[in-house]
A and B are shown apart, each in its own frame.
Chain A
């Protein structure tokens, strides 16, 4: 049992995913939109004020800007590889089709 998506279905699915991600910014939601990792750490500090953080990261990005650059780099590396593989597959399938 296998199936293939039509381009139309793919676009609808992507739009739905985008809408889910965009909705919190459009709906009247109050919040600082900070990361849950930080919220989680703060919750620990609130409930266990005696807990001493016993290690620190070796290195931290010196600023938010540099941090966002490294995140962008991570996403770019991933997207580059993913795009390369999808493009290659797409190209080879089209060749197979015309050969047939």
Chain B
């Protein structure tokens, strides 16, 4: 889902940066609030960040014959709400942009929007919706993690289609083309991430969260 350095026109790069910046600031505020109100949660928070670090470093083969990486942002979004993940995801993306030439500084805003903002919000909403309709906790966690992953790649396809509409078929044709590259590849990987997050969540907090109050009461 990384849009490479220089692969967005300057106006798009600036636009996505402006869209993403307030979310990252809100993420920093949210992080401070969590650390102030629940200092005992700092370990789980560190683990959620670490999980995103690990998963975004793993490029895995998929059925389309290309490789892609999971995002790992669903776990933190389910445990702490989506806001704080904007900051955590940005840190991961900065690491990869500066040290690995994966993604870039001009495309950071667009990459933050897909991986650190939309992904966590979709994952959190899916988990909340699953809990609200009474699905088992494991199903809710699975859906939250898998959809955070998959939606990230759909947003990347959207961003690229907006910047590079197909000469013949326009925005929609380009979206289908980019989604064919990014989102289809991501389907089995998102399912694998969903399964993994059920296990990691359980190992991390000793149970699966099934409450619908936004954050998990009593997460340490």
Contact = CB atoms under 8 A, between A and B. Distances in A.
Contact of B210 (A3, A56, A75): A3
Interface of A is mostly: helix
A40 B189 contact: no
Nearest to A38: B4
B68 A35 contact: yes
A78 B54 contact: yes
A27 B63 contact: yes
Contacts of A71: 57, 59, 100
B182 A47 contact: no
A55 B5 contact: yes
A21 B61 contact: yes
13 contacts: A1-B131, A21-B188, A24-B63, A35-B66, A37-B1, A40-B4, A40-B181, A67-B100, A75-B53, A75-B54, A85-B50, A86-B200, A89-B43
Given A85-B204, A88-B43, 13 more contacts: A1-B134, A2-B137, A3-B137, A4-B202, A5-B202, A13-B196, A24-B61, A27-B63, A35-B68, A48-B167, A54-B10, A81-B46, A81-B49
In order of increasing CB-CB distance, the 8 nearest A-B pairs are A31-B65, A78-B53, A78-B54, A81-B50, A53-B6, A60-B101, A85-B47, A57-B101
